[in-house]
Chain A
Amino acid sequence: MSTTNSAVELISQLQLGDVSSVELTEQSLQAIASRDTDIGAFLSTNADAALAQARAIDDKRKAGQPVGKLAGVPIAVKDNLCTLGLKTTCASRMLANFVPPYDAHVIERLKAEDAVLVGKTNLDEFAMGSTTESSAFQVTRNPHHREHTVGGSSGGSAAAVAANMVAWSLGSDTGGSIRQPAGFCGVIGMKPTYGRVSRYGLIAYASSLDQIGPFATDVSSAALLLEVISGHDRRDSTSVDRPVPAYSQTVNQPLTGLRVGIAREHFAEGLNSEVETAVRKSLDVYRSLGAEIVELSLPHSKYAIATYYLIACSEASSNLARFDGVHYGHRATNFSNLIDMYSASRGEGFGAEVKRRIMLGTYALSAGYYDAYYLKALKVRRLIRNDFDAAFAKCDVIVSPIAPTLAFRLGEMTNDPLAMYLSDIYTISANLAGIPGLSLPCGVSSHGLPIGLQLLAAPFEEEKLLRAARMFELAT
């Protein structure tokens, strides 16, 4: 893959007049047309509207009018983010023809800052999966190795950036769905603190865990994109009303006295040796930058996956009840009565992974099982959060692998849901605890597959997370 410019570099080239937004948008659309046929990152493109928007931004700039912070740079967004007048499918037959009547909050923010939306990216159906293979429409292949998956669920957004079709994109992360594909594709991906970014217009999977975040080719661009999408929105009552730091202004400032935590539970059995080596080498990088390495424990780590799948599926079973064949989405043609219409429509509209999660959640919430499963999981969730609170009293960031393995081969996980769930071990706790996490490249395997490094920080410490990541990026 060729090296191209990061989004912040493109912004300065646009400011200097070295390139126009129309040129960048045409390049992006051409890259999609030529390269995406064998990668499959995009579910739809928005060529005419994107070019018209790019032209309008170029005209504004030429006329000396003020333009937005992201002005003129193409961007792609995951197809579970509602876009006014543009099909939003969640990669599901259920929503194959759904055209949202409004924009998600983050889309409004992108438009307000003059980003150019070139297309919508592939995902695991309703963001449920870790490989982007459960999409009802297409499989996305890893740009570094076509026989491997991109990870998931935001696999299309990760691949679009990794294959230089766009310089940045948005995804959503419920259990690692930004960080893990970023790791598998060798790009930056970030899940903000729960509540940092409004979820309005993000089609819900698990509402207490979902969070929208950026992908980019460098940390500075991720910082700028996060700065633009963060902030309170009255339409999402869980979005937190506190000031948004100017992440893009501070990202280049190194941290002094940085304490990097490593948890012994993160280096247990089952960790691929190449991944382990790359992560341990990353600790040496931090040591060489003057950081202190602090060994610590997250004693409830081994319970995170069980806790997550009970909570996420319970929430999913409730959230996806809205797909009833009445208000929007697929309706079956053959049915005998109203209940049968619901069941037939949902049976036809949803794929296997979505059905499994709805049923697991329905079971966990059903009479006689609620205390044993759902309530139990909520209690363990508290213990997991307490582990992190104790850990962040001793360190600034925790460094870990993103996943125990390299990018899976295509088809490797499709017949074994539990094995796929277990692969989420390193990313899932951050969603349960509500803390921010970031994935950045830290090596390449002997087969040419990227290896990702995860950094975690305490709630609302995105600034620290980005600065620590930038230090690493500059040193490697």
Chain B
Amino acid sequence: MAQLLTRQDVAKVALLSRLKLTDVEIELFTTQLGQVLGYVDLLNELDTTDVTPMAHATDIANVFRDDELIPSLPRAAALANAPKSDGKFFVVPQILEEA
């Protein structure tokens, strides 16, 4: 598992993470993330074949509630922090090409 992280790996992860990085950042993160990944290899010392994964520290499984209406944020409040809105909706750049 301890293969070296390449610049291409970091560029790909940056794309998956939706992070536009400079060349300098890619260079730096290639080294730094490589070091961290090298370190976490430590876990492979342990045989965990029969261990149940623990995603959560409490015993809570599913939490159900009644299907009832409760007040929620008014539209104006929900839109108030939007970088761009038309007062009714969040406005995003065009997604579909013109027909």
Contacts and interface: CB of A to CB of B under 8 A. Distances in A.
Prevailing SS type, chain A contact patch: helix
B18 to A, nearest CB: 4
A385 B45 CA distance: 18
In this complex, which of B15, B58, B60, B95 has the most chain A Cβ atoms within 10 angstroms of its Cβ?
A: B58
Interface core residue of B9, B35, B43, B54 (most chain A CB under 10 Å):
B54
Given A347-B20, A358-B17, A363-B33, A352 B25 contact: yes
B99 interface: no
Contact of B40 (A306, A335, A383, A417): A306
A359 B17 contact: yes
A291 interface: no
A194 B65 CA distance: 21
Contacts of B33: 356, 359-360, 363
A341 B92 contact: yes
Interface in A338-357: 338-344, 346-348, 350, 352, 355-356
B18 A342 contact: yes
Contacts of A447: none
Given A306-B42, A383-B51, A421-B36, A362 B13 contact: yes
A233 to B, nearest CB: 12
A418 interface: yes
A309 B57 CA distance: 16
A62 interface: no
Interface string B25-65: 10011001101110110111110100111111110100101
Which bucket holds chain B's interface residue count? 35 or more
Q: Is the interface of B mostly helix, strand, loop or mixed?
A: loop
B14 interface: yes
A330 B84 CA distance: 10
Given A326-B82, A329-B83, A382-B54, A417 B32 contact: yes
Interface in A291-334: 300, 302-303, 305-307, 309-310, 317, 321, 324-331
A343 B18 contact: yes
B53 A346 contact: no
A358 B19 CA distance: 9
Contacts of A363: 9, 13, 33, 37
A289 interface: no
Interface of B: 1, 9-10, 13-21, 25, 28-29, 32-33, 35-37, 39-40, 42-46, 48, 51-58, 60, 63, 65, 73, 77-78, 80-84, 90, 92-95
26 contacts: A101-B78, A101-B80, A102-B73, A208-B56, A237-B60, A240-B58, A309-B40, A324-B18, A326-B90, A341-B93, A350-B19, A355-B29, A356-B32, A359-B10, A363-B33, A366-B16, A373-B40, A375-B53, A376-B43, A376-B48, A379-B53, A380-B46, A382-B51, A382-B52, A383-B48, A417-B32
